[in-house]
Structure 1
Amino acid sequence: MTYFHLGELVFKQAQKYKNRTALKYQDATGAWVDMSWDLFAEKVTKTAQAMAEMGVKPYNNVGIYSQNMEKYLITDFAAFANKAVMVPMYATSSPSQVKYIVNDAEISLIFVGEQFQYNNAFKVQQESQFLHKLIIFDRNVVLQPEDKTSVYFDDFITTGDNSESVALVNARIRQLKDSDLATIIYTSGTTGEPKGVMLTHANYLKAMRIHDMRLTNLSEKDLSMCFLPLTHIFEKAWTTYCLHRGIVVAINRNPAEIRETIKQVRPTIMSNVPRFWEKVYDGVKETIDSSSGVIKWLFTDAVKTGRRHNLDYRNNGRKAPLGNSIKFFLYKHTIYYLIKRIVGIDRGNFFPVAGAPLSDNINEFLQSIDVHIVYGYGLTETTATVSCFTFPGFKIGTVGKVMPDTEVKIGENSEILVRGGTVMSGYYNKPEATKEVFTEDGFFRTGDAGMLTDDGEIILTERIKDLYKTSNGKYIAPQMIETRISEDKYIDQVAVIGDERKFVSALIIPNYLALKAYADSQGIPYESTDDLVKNDVVHDYVFGRIELLQSQFTNYEKIKKITLLPQPFSIESGELTNTLKLRRKVILERYADIIDQMYID
């Protein structure tokens, strides 16, 4: 297979696929529109020429601050054609977060999405010595009265239609090198200020090669739903890989609408984080638990049959017994199909999952109802995937086998160390931080603890910096506990507390709708969510469910006290990162009084 520098990828694919669909996206009315490879290449060309006309030079850092949309991808590939470097920012980022990246990367030009991003970026422009120009994707954005410099994207791409810009871009394309810097992706900064991860085109090309070696059951007939933010390395690398494979990419613009858009598109593949599948699991389990009689028996038997067929036999390379195969075939075309059809994944090939711990119970359940999860592990610094499930032969309890041409070893404190062609060149403007995360023999220190099996699979245990040590000297892995507790349908978010404390406690964000339904069924009076979470009966009910979930924990790992909170953790409040990870320091400070109350004898 041929591998193209990202600056020429779209043009090469257009020569091959011509009028075949490259992208699907929604227009202003919500209708899905197809964009051919030819049109995709034409728009990339015009955008690249407009960038050149505006003064974008090779190795300039260009910002993009937007939700997913077709113009996002057009801009990315246009910058690559100019040998420029793309610096993505999450659509949910605050002005202070945008300002930090703009100043650190000395960004003079940002492409913004909608009104929210424009307003924040314009505010930053007023305060930053570096930011001078905004290009606006959404034509409906209302400009600030004093704004005399911003331009709408559709107007911008008409500005480079001249011989000088055409020649400039053509010359730059001829000078593309794999060693060129492609992106600077800033980490979410859970434990300190964000760091800009520098990834070269060679990093992305290596990622393509090793995925081609591992994911042999993909084809041009697949359809990928681009749902995670393109700022996230998982989605960015995955979408780029799909375009490399000639796979149609459907772009979900509004994350809140995924339940509807996924049913409209019915993708065969979609990268996602465990949170999405936890919601699917909760919904299916709720349906099963609320059923009765023959229907409940059929659901239960279907799960049991699928577990034997998919996990005990097929995954181990064995043929299932005739009776199991017949039942599996019947369930595949009835119960499994209906469940998947309701979600919108009935055409599913497989679904890559990474970015956070996925419960083994949920993973096993999904595999049992014929939803093929490819669970993996990676970081921004490794251009995403370090390991992922093989098929057949994956093992629940691991994050898959180490990717081809990738070296992994276990260092001090059980730290996972990685070396290979996908590992970053370093942190932007941070030589000391870069030096600290590499060993003398060139391995990247992931900051994650784990083990390697004899078959080369990684068992991930915990973020080393997240490990708690109780006042009794016992080490606690909070993510492991949180992942297990989050399986319960009444629990939406969990923050485990325990560092330098005498026992483990937790702040619990309930599933408020489910909890209200329970309270109503039990005749428990409440006038507000605050009343509900303070009710002793409700508290004891939730804690009782937690007790059952942690039955396999050692005594010092078990949650001894909980507090139900009336408001969820959020990005806006600073309690979650843009990738929905807990900012533990913020949570500990914000809820210090509530936490202290749980430790009063």
Structure 2
Amino acid sequence: MEKATRLFDCMAVQAKAPLDDLLNAKVNGAWKSYSTQEVHDMIYQLSIALLDMGVSGGDGTTEGRDKIGLISPGRPEWLITDLAVQQIGAVLVPLYPNTNPKELEQILNEAEVKYVFVSNKELYDKVNEVHSKVPSLKAIFTFDLIEGCTNWTELFKPLQKKDRQNLIAVSNAISENDVTTIIYTSGTTGRPKGVMLTHKNILSNVMASGLVLNQIPIARKRALSFLPMNHIFEKMVTYIYFFFGYSIYYAESIDTIGVNLREVKPYLFTAVPRVLEKVFEKIIIEGKKLKGIKSKIFLWSIKIADQFEIDNKSIWYKIKLAIADKLVYSKWRKAIGGNVSAIIVGSSACPVRLEKIFTAAGIVILEGYGLTETSPVISVNHYQKSSRKFGTVGPLLSGVQVMIADDGEILCKGPGVMKGYYKNPGLTAEVMENGWFHTGDIGVLDQDSFLKITDRKKEIFKTSGGKYVAPTPIENKMKENYFIAQMIVIGSEKKFVTALIVPSYANLKPWCMQNNIPFSSNEQIIKDSRVIDLYYSIVDAFNLEFNHVEQVKKITLLTDEWSTDSGELTPTGKMKRKVITEKYHAEIEKMYLDELTEVPIL
């Protein structure tokens, strides 16, 4: 592969090995493929249109470059717009489709966005609602054909020789150190911050991470994409696909992933841990429908998967694993298309039990770690067994340095570290010190140089007795039980630790049926003493693995799953702890009505 210095150099690489199905999406219920030539033609046409509209790289500074907004789920038009904006030196400002109007207005104004591209009528209306409050915004274009809206294809025109020459001159002037995008973080700790990433930032991560993905033995480079494209994780992986010759298929929605997996039959995809949890929940539900010997075989196969270790050399275990694979695991793989060799997992901690179960079933989980500010990968587990370890986020990515501060915070240095926060030098100075980026995460490098994340620096709390508690390890461990869907540990300035738990109702319902417990609603069932006892017994068993001060003494079961739409989760699935504790303030306080004595767990 020739030396690339800008993200849009992927186009020259693609032109040497064109694909008939570079980008693919459902249109009117049928898959439509866009060839390399079609994609490139549309990119060039949109680039020329933007130049004709006066969009430019300005004076070369980040502040002087024009900003283009993009709000859409993943689809071919997203990448075409991104690359068109890149090669004329403008800056893409992608936003989450569920960004609320107030944040949308703030971001569009802060970035002084000139034009916005949206996918559908709902997003058009959302942007149009704040249009009058954003002086810089000149027009909104839609990908879908919508009456009364300007469709993006209206910008396209046949390319003239002089257009191509002009475009080449403009793109040749773009440097690897130029900012190509401003990505606003999802905001677990407050108002989103605009992270400025250069071509070099992202491309360094693409090339180093691409070498890791290239270890995966696959017959056909075909991937399914369903995570938000405006998140740096999915965007960076997409450019791996572009540079390394993959075809990309876009899922219709988060609800159609299962169907789309079976249709596309991809060899790998990216996911957040919650997706794996949902898949495993469905596996358990189907398994519990089995009777007699089939049920026993299913339960035995789960036990075998639970015992999986990467370096297990036991011949007897390998025989049992092969039998379980033939009878059970092969059916799991078929349910997700039959070809998936690996799933790249990021954004939040993946329960070790899930990693073991999927890997035992021949679907290798490659968990990694990083932040928007690091473009994003800092470390990642490899497909090769020697570079993979459960309970860690893998060895450091090539070219990345990590130092553990005295207080345990992970500091990072390397070509992927951001240029800074847009229009916020003060905040940039807070997280950057002598080239080292302060991640805000607590972790350790083990004796084999594998990185392990133990907690968020700001999430560690102190009890009223002066003892520090890291909630994340407790939550991650207890969520390994399939009756627990979500959990948050509470205890800051309190005498003891408590927890809010969202049950996995998909797994709880069959258990209730087996135990002759009527299940009319979520509200009704969590009040049943037998269900409450079940959850206390689960928590009690896990408590044995923690120090006394870390043990959960009281719990409250909740009726509704936390989600992005209801505000408790960021778009990438991270808990908004402040939002959750404020929303369930009454439930939390009820657990602490009598703090004079610790109430022993049942």
Q: TM-score if structure 1 supplies the norm length?
A: 0.91
Separation (CA, whole Å) in 2 of partners of 1:419 and 1:95: 35
Q: How does 1:420-499 map to 2 (within 5 A)?
A: 420-440=414-434, 442-499=435-492
Separation (CA, whole Å) in 1 of partners of 2:535 and 2:305: 31
Separation (CA, whole Å) in 1 of partners of 2:485 and 2:23: 34
2:68–2:114: 8 Å Cα contact kept in structure 1? yes
Corresponding residue of 1:13: 13
Q: How does 1:237-276 map to 2 (within 5 A)?
A: 237-276=236-275
Secondary structure in 1 matching 2:458? helix
Q: What's the CA shift for 1:555?
A: 2.3
Secondary structure in 1 matching 2:46? helix
Corresponding residue of 1:222: 221
Separation (CA, whole Å) in 1 of partners of 2:41 and 2:67: 23
Corresponding residue of 1:136: 142
Corresponding residue of 1:409: 403
Match of 2:567 among 574, 578, 596: 574
Q: Which amino acid aligns with 1:429?
A: K
Separation (CA, whole Å) in 2 of partners of 1:237 and 1:107: 23
Q: What's the CA shift for 1:422?
A: 0.9
Separation (CA, whole Å) in 2 of partners of 1:185 and 1:280: 30
Corresponding residue of 1:197: 195
Q: How does 1:540-559 map to 2 (within 5 A)?
A: 540-559=533-552
Number of aligned residue pairs: give it. 584
Secondary structure in 1 matching 2:310? helix
Separation (CA, whole Å) in 2 of partners of 1:526 and 1:301: 28
Q: What's the CA shift for 1:294?
A: 3.5
Q: Which amino acid aligns with 2:361?
A: I
- Deviation by residue 1:547-594 (Cα, 9 ceiling, x = unmatched): 234431222222211222223323233322222211111222222122
Q: What's the CA shift for 1:490?
A: 2.9
Separation (CA, whole Å) in 2 of partners of 1:368 and 1:551: 27
Match of 2:184 among 183, 186, 198: 186
Q: What's the CA shift for 1:539?
A: 2.5
Q: What's the CA shift for 1:293?
A: 4.8
Secondary structure in 1 matching 2:130? helix
Separation (CA, whole Å) in 2 of partners of 1:328 and 1:517: 27
Separation (CA, whole Å) in 2 of partners of 1:255 and 1:593: 33
Q: What's the CA shift for 1:343?
A: 2.9
Q: How much is the aligned-residue C-alpha RMSD, in angstroms? A: 2.4
Q: How does 1:233-312 map to 2 (within 5 A)?
A: 233-288=232-287, 291=290, 293-299=292-298, 302=301, 311-312=310-311
Gaps of at least 5 residues in structure 1 are 144-149
Q: How does 1:99-110 map to 2 (within 5 A)?
A: 99-110=105-116
Q: How does 1:4-83 map to 2 (within 5 A)?
A: 4-6=4-6, 8-28=8-28, 30-58=29-57, 59-83=65-89
Corresponding residue of 2:412: 418
Corresponding residue of 2:170: 172
Residues 191, 327 of structure 1: alpha-carbon distance in 2 compared, 3 angstrom cutoff: closer
Q: What's the CA shift for 1:535?
A: 3.3
- Deviation by residue 1:103-130 (Cα, 9 ceiling, x = unmatched): 1111121111122211111111122222
Separation (CA, whole Å) in 2 of partners of 1:286 and 1:545: 19
Q: How does 1:350-429 map to 2 (within 5 A)?
A: 350-390=342-382, 391-393=384-386, 394-429=388-423
Q: What's the CA shift for 1:329?
A: 4.8
Separation (CA, whole Å) in 1 of partners of 2:588 and 2:232: 34
Separation (CA, whole Å) in 2 of partners of 1:407 and 1:201: 20
Q: Which amino acid aligns with 2:459?
A: D
Q: Which amino acid aligns with 1:427?
A: Y
Q: Which amino acid aligns with 2:71?
A: Y
Corresponding residue of 2:524: 531
Separation (CA, whole Å) in 2 of partners of 1:331 and 1:493: 29
2:567–2:579: 8 Å Cα contact kept in structure 1? yes
Secondary structure in 1 matching 2:227? coil
1:52–1:165: 8 Å Cα contact kept in structure 2? no
Q: Which amino acid aligns with 1:200?
A: T
Residues 287, 40 of structure 1: alpha-carbon distance in 2 compared, 3 angstrom cutoff: same
Match of 1:501 among 482, 494, 497: 494
Q: What's the CA shift for 1:334?
A: 4.5
2:207–2:240: 8 Å Cα contact kept in structure 1? no
1:562–1:598: 8 Å Cα contact kept in structure 2? yes
- Deviation by residue 1:304-344 (Cα, 9 ceiling, x = unmatched): 6667886234xxxx6x64x6656655554543211111133
Task: State the percentage of identical aligned residues.
Answer: 32
Separation (CA, whole Å) in 2 of partners of 1:328 and 1:524: 36
Gaps of at least 5 residues in structure 2 are 58-64, 595-602
Q: What's the CA shift for 1:410?
A: 0.2
Separation (CA, whole Å) in 2 of partners of 1:60 and 1:513: 48
Secondary structure in 2 matching 1:171? helix
